[in-house]
């Protein structure tokens, strides 16, 4: 059987230009290489799965490349690049601080730092999850980080910058990686699907992108899971079934029922949602989000805040046009209050039902 490579590894960027949605950071790093103004230590921080370690590896490969392109990209042909691509480069050292966080581990690293590179100019030390180092390990690392040998360059990566002591922060150039936007994740998933010969609905990819919560690696892992479930054709219905996501249709239907004060049918729809196995808080949280999306859909300036596909976006605009701002604001307040109080409620189902009844009564007052 052919060895399967997960998409997060198969489509891991190998050049600055292929890094997704971190343009300002890649541009800064490329300019630093071009002008020769390299710091001896960098700190890459940001949420999981946004490209910190990937950028560190690309940066390490590029600064040791013998034949940089005019766009300051590695050539992938010289001896240094080939060694890196084949995972046999002695210039680049990676340390996982989550499992190597003691003083002895850092002392071993300091001993290695003294050895000059065999090929290229720099020995690059990438320390992942650096916030996991013990306070003693941090202190042992300070002097070397401040005054490393000319050939040594450190790249520290972390998801929790606030846990790193100020004396380490002051010795590094700090790059803050952003959560990746839904549209960027969706576009990348579309590219991966086309490369794999998979036909995917835009709305299905949008659900995956939203579920990933700004982490491209998570999105690719979910994508692989969906492909295992659906095969070569990914549909919206299959994605929401596999990921246990509540269909948009329920929320659109409920708002229509609210607007015509249909309390009995509203409670029936909620019962249907519960029978499908969804938690009451999951439902009310989604309803709150739906009201928020309707509110931002009312104005051409704020509609850009809506992170959904084209067809769904038009449905939001249409439904929002039929809702008064006062109704949306009060409905948002009631649903948010229910969401906040849900965990402490003794009768959780009743608390959600009461919130739905109150919302359905809002338009009744306007008559």
Mean pLDDT, to the nearest integer, of 128-146?
83
Task: Describe the strand order of the beta sheet including 123-128 as a list of residue ranges.
Answer: 92-96, 123-128, 152-158, 41-45, 173-176
If asked whether residues 150 and 207 sit together in one domain, one would say no
Cβ contacts of 134 within 8 Å, gap of 6 or more = 101, 102, 103
Can you give the residue range of the structural domain that contains 272? 248-366
Q: Is residue 2 part of a domain?
A: no
Full-model pTM: 0.80
Burial degree of 213 (CB within 10 A; 0-12, 13-18, 19+)? middle
What pLDDT, on a 0 to 100 scale, did the predictor assign at position 333?
Answer: 92
**Is residue 32 included in any domain, yes or no?**
yes
Residues 42, 129 share a domain: yes
Question: In this structure, is residue 1 part of a structural domain?
Answer: no
Instruction: Give tens-digit pLDDT for 198-227.
Output: 888 888 888 888 888 888 888 999 898 888
- Whether 31 is covered by a domain: the verdict is yes
A 10 A CB-CB count for 83 gives: 19
Same domain, 123 and 45: yes
Q: Strand runs (DSSP E) across the chain, as ranges? A: 41-45, 92-96, 123-128, 152-158, 173-176, 199-200, 233-234
Same domain assignment for residues 310 and 357 = yes
pLDDT confidence of residue 309: 66
| pLDDT score of 51 more than 80 | yes
- Indicate whether 30 and 101 sit together in one domain: yes
Mean pLDDT in residue range 98-119: 81
Question: Do 87 and 142 have their domain in common?
Answer: yes
In whole angstroms, give the CA distance from residue 101 to residue 43. Answer: 17
The string of DSSP codes covering 230-253 is H-SEE-HHHHHHHTTPPPHHHHHH
Measured CA to CA, the distance from residue 299 to residue 217 in angstroms comes to 33
> For 158-180, what is each residue's pLDDT tens digit?
988 888 888 888 888 899 998 88
Q: What is the dihedral of CA 33, 34, 37, 40, to 10 degrees?
A: 10
- The whole-number average pLDDT for the span 264-283 is 88
In a domain, 329, yes or no: yes
Query: Within this chain, do residues 166 and 20 fall inside the same structural domain, yes or no?
Result: yes
- Is the pLDDT confidence value at 310 over 70? no
List the CATH number of the domain containing 16. Answer: 3.40.50.300
Nearest CA to 203 among 156, 244, 155, 235?
235
Regarding whether 27 and 57 lie in a shared domain, the answer is: yes
Q: What total of structural domains would you count in the chain?
A: 3
Q: What is the mean pLDDT of residues 74-92?
A: 83
């Amino acid at each position: 059987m052919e060895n399967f490579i997960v998409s997060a590894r198969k489509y891991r960027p190998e050049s600055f230009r292929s890094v997704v949605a971190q343009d300002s950071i890649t541009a800064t790093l490329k300019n630093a290489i071009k002008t020769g103004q390299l710091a001896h230590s960098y700190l890459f921080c940001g949420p999981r799965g946004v490209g910190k370690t990937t950028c560190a590896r690309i940066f390490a490969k590029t600064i040791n490349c013998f034949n940089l392109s005019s766009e300051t990209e590695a050539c992938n042909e010289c001896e240094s690049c080939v060694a890196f691509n084949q995972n046999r480069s002695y210039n680049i050292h990676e340390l996982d601080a989550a499992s190597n966080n003691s003083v002895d581990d850092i002392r071993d690293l300091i001993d290695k730092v003294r050895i000059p590179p065999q090929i290229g100019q720099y020995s690059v030390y990438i320390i992942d999850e650096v916030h996991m180092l013990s306070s003693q390990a941090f202190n042992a690392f300070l002097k070397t980080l401040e005054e490393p040998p000319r050939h040594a360059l450190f790249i520290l990566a972390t998801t929790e910058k606030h846990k790193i002591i100020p004396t380490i922060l002051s010795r590094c150039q700090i790059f803050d990686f952003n959560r990746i936007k839904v549209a960027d994740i969706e576009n990348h998933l579309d590219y991966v699907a086309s490369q794999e010969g998979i036909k995917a609905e835009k709305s299905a990819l949008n659900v995956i992108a939203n579920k990933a919560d700004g982490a491209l690696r998570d999105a690719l892992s979910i994508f692989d899971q969906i492909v295992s479930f659906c095969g070569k054709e990914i549909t919206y219905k299959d994605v929401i079934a596999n990921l246990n996501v509540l269909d948009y249709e329920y929320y659109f239907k409920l708002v229509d029922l609210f607007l015509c004060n249909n309390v009995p049918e509203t409670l029936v729809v909620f019962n249907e949602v519960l029978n499908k196995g969804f938690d009451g808080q999951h439902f009310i949280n989604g309803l709150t989000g739906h009201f928020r999306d309707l509110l931002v859909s009312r104005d051409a300036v704020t509609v850009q805040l809506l992170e959904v596909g084209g067809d769904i976006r038009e449905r939001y605009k249409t439904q929002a046009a039929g809702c008064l701002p006062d109704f949306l604001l009060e409905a948002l307040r009631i649903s948010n209050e229910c969401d906040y109080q849900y965990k402490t409620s003794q009768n959780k189902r009743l608390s959600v039902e009461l919130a739905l009844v109150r919302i359905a009564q809002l338009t009744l007052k306007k008559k």
